[in-house]
Structure 1
Amino acid sequence: MDQPSTPPLAAAPTATGPTPGSLAGRRMVLLALVVLALNLRPAAVSVGPVLAETTDGLGMSHTLAGVLTSLPVIAFAGFGALAPWLARTVGIHQTTLASLVAVAIGLALRAGVDTSLPFLALSLLALAGMATANVLLPSLVKLHFGDRVGMATALYTTAMAIGLTAALLLTVPIAEAHGGWRFGLGIWAALALAAALVWVAFAAHDRHVGPPSTTISLWAVARTRLGVALAVFFGLQSIAAYSIFGWFAQLWRDSGFSPTVAGALVGLVAGISIPLSLWIPRAAAAREDQRPVLLAVMACYPLGYVGLMVAPHALAVPCALLVGIGACTFPLILSLIPLRARTTEGTAALSGWTQSAGYLVAALGPFAVGATYDATGGWTWPLALLLALAVPQLLLGLYVSQPRYLEDQLSR
């Protein structure tokens, strides 16, 4: 069972908001969190597998295609920063519902447009909803499961991993079976709509996560050592993740695999996070100091990178597994956000700052990897760059994995 990660203020919120504190009520909240989390990656990654077909169908230039692939980071950085304010003024459950509605509308309508600019605008709408809900999830966990942070985080990060893997692996087969890329992209709107229906009941009895008089601003978080360390740690983790999911299919194609097999290897990278997302948040929440979990996960990055430098074809499967385990710093950092704050409001502010600033840092990563690949004509130096970036990521991770709290640093 998870140890309480904060003073026992978070047990009470389970009896507030839209559900009672009963076992049945908490299970309903968990279901809502899981269906929400399932929708927090398909809007961002479903385009990648059918990017060529989509750009051809819309007559999209390479420049606009570059904008399209950059939109997830832009949305996470920009709209994610608004999420704590929306949770305070509109209400956390109504904001979550509105986010899912935005995802559903954006995904459904963009599948029917015929030109590039409306497709980009509707993609941004869907990604804005995804980014807002992404920031609010740690606060929802803190609000309803302050006494079971590890358990709740494990379930929703696993659901996120399932959504990510499903979008990577199923978009192409769905598109091929139903007439093209439009259906392959539009089908994910149905998943978002189903999740929105679950959240309607919660929005009717909303909870604001902090009165204006006690607001913790993102700027206040940015002035703390913990806030800076978490944001840069998150950014370095995201650089690795976006580079892996954006470029490793090409790496394996260059090493002699077919496009189908290369895509399956990237799916393996994503798929290994499904079982690990069940374990990592529980292991993190069960201890005061999360450094042992961090070291166990991040040790796999250098092994995977070096293996790909030496034998990208022969060692493809073990390296995919190792890199996938290293990428599980993502569920770890999502676990750390509520563990490093004492209050629901502090969690919202820390989540908003960490993810907004972190994704700004991450925006440079895939471009740097691509530029290095173009300049060198191979994968040794891009992998060396990712290996080098793992060093400061580890050092920052060791700092944020020790027991310290945002509110303590705000008061100094």
Structure 2
Amino acid sequence: MVVGIVLTALNLRPAITSFGALLEEVRDGLGMSGSVAGVLTSVPPLCFAVFGVMAPRLARRFGPGAVVCAGMVAITAGLAIRPYAGNTARFLAASALALMGIAVSNVLMPVIVKRWFPDRVGSMTGLYSMALALGTSAAAAVTVPMTDALGGSWKSGLAVWAGLAAAAVVPWILLVRARGADSEGGAAGLRPGTGTGADGRSPDTGPGSPARQEPDGLRITRSRTAWALAVFFGLQATAAYITMGWMAQIFRDAGVAAGTAGLLLAVTMVMGVPLAFVIPRLATRLPHQGPIVVALGACGLAGYAGLYFAPASGAWAWALLLGVSNCAFPLALTMVGMRARTGAGVAKLSAFAQSTGYLLSIPGPLLVGVLYQQSGGWGLPLALMAGLMVPQIGVGILAGRNRTVEDEAARRPHP
């Protein structure tokens, strides 16, 4: 299970950051305008919103492991097909296939962590987030030099990431075949072959058992914390996908070489490797996660200011600051696990927060592309990015309060 989680996490962002590193080459190869490129950078959150909401229902029917396995297959196929699609529409369709696999895995990873590792939510979320950051940064760092090594074709540079996705399919196939673990154990909160819950109790007894605590008919939309977490997730996703899609181009427009710009993006992403392990562990030890939200937001504001006033001369500093700010993602994942008491609650909260959040994040990268094309510079896009950081801090403080969605939904009167 741990191997499957780590390999899955490694594959949840290379489809996006490898494209960002070669954005200029892909635009030239497919004849895209800046606005169309902005649309493409908005596709990931759109797919995450549309397909992510389906994940809990699919998991109930087929088991979470089987759904994640299918997701890895979809990522493999999409990444192998899209470089050779031939035009923008087919490139978009193949990208959507890969992003569909990423979307369902995004939603189900917190569910799997909560059910299989209920006493280690912080450390396992940290491991998962660290692997995700490693995959993100690796794709940003090595895509350009790997493209050069493969003959200079951006198609080969993008297609090679399908191999990593194919490797992630293997452990999930083994897990799905092992005694029906997903349908019998994963869906009911059981460990394979034990007949006991993840906490060692019988599934029908004990205060932590699914039979006692799984909420039937939980109306997640009745919880203010769920809404705050969804908006926080959406705003941090907006910042992350703008960064992944456009930051390399900001540096290139400032006179930084293409390889160095990709390396700077990699530095931003690699900051999540150590911090994604530290922040969830710290968050689970605090009664309120608001101070972490404020610290990450302040780093983001400083990074945007630096990109505006001295994008080239201070490039490494701004990359580091934005890398710290992007660690709002593992914090949001950790809060998903902390703001619900049960596996079913985490599944509903994860689907709601991620699907709603990614839906909210769709306009951001598109607006950046439009503003960049219309203004001919990065002043207005950076002002937009800095402006969105302020409400992100506000709703993050609200989402970080010590309460659960089950309790909030129960307290609110039915209409």
Q: Which moved more, 1:50-59 or 1:80-89?
A: 50-59
Matched with 2:362 is 363
- 1:156 to 2:128 alignment: yes
CA apart distance, 1:343:
0.8
Q: Residues 371 and 121 (structure 1 numbering): CA distance in 2 closer, same or farther, change over 3 Å?
A: closer
- Kindly report the root-mean-square deviation, in angstroms, between the aligned alpha carbons of the 2 structures: 2.3
CA distance in 1, matches of 2:37, 2:252: 21
1:195 to 168, 175, 186: 168
Aligned-partner residue type, residue 93 of structure 1: G
Q: Residues 378 and 106 (structure 1 numbering): CA distance in 2 closer, same or farther, change over 3 Å?
A: closer
- 1:264 to 2:263 alignment: yes
1:96 to 64, 68, 74: 68
Alignment coverage as a number of residue pairs = 381
Matched with 1:372 is 371
Matched with 1:4 is none
Matched with 1:317 is 316
CA distance in 2, matches of 1:162, 1:313: 25
Where in structure 1 are there 5+ consecutive unaligned residues?
A: 1-28
TM-score, normalized by length of structure 1? 0.86
CA apart distance, 1:112:
4.2
Aligned-partner residue type, residue 398 of structure 2: Y
CA apart distance, 1:214:
5.2
Aligned-partner residue type, residue 114 of structure 2: K
- 1:208 to 2:187 alignment: yes
Aligned-partner residue type, residue 354 of structure 1: A
CA apart distance, 1:322:
1.2
Q: What is the SS of the residue equivalent to 1:263?
A: helix
Aligned-partner residue type, residue 341 of structure 2: R
Q: What is the SS of the residue equivalent to 1:138?
A: helix
Q: Which moved more, 1:95-104 or 1:297-306?
A: 297-306
CA apart distance, 1:30:
1.7
CA apart distance, 1:400:
0.9
1:109 to 58, 81, 84: 81
Matched with 1:181 is 154
Q: What is the SS of the residue equivalent to 1:392?
A: helix
Q: Which moved more, 1:138-147 or 1:246-255?
A: 246-255
Aligned ranges for residues 48-87 of structure 1 at < 5 Å? Answer: 48-57=20-29, 65-87=37-59
CA distance in 1, matches of 2:347, 2:188: 8
Q: Which moved more, 1:46-55 or 1:230-239?
A: 46-55
CA contact (8 A) 2:20 2:246 kept: no
CA contact (8 A) 1:91 1:209 kept: no
Matched with 1:399 is 398
Q: Which moved more, 1:67-76 or 1:50-59?
A: 50-59
Aligned-partner residue type, residue 110 of structure 1: R
CA contact (8 A) 1:216 1:346 kept: no
Q: Give the percent of matched residue pairs that are identical in Structure 1 and Structure 2.
A: 45
CA apart distance, 1:238:
1.3
Q: Residues 61 and 389 (structure 1 numbering): CA distance in 2 closer, same or farther, change over 3 Å?
A: closer
Q: What is the SS of the residue equivalent to 1:408?
A: helix
**What whole-Å deviation, never above 9, does each CA across 1:228-257 have from its counterpart, x for those lacking one?**
111111111111112222222232233332
Where in structure 2 are there 5+ consecutive unaligned residues?
A: 190-209
TM-score, normalized by length of structure 2? 0.85
CA contact (8 A) 2:53 2:351 kept: yes
Q: Which moved more, 1:40-49 or 1:58-67?
A: 58-67
- 1:124 to 2:99 alignment: no
CA apart distance, 1:73:
1.7
CA distance in 1, matches of 2:40, 2:380: 26
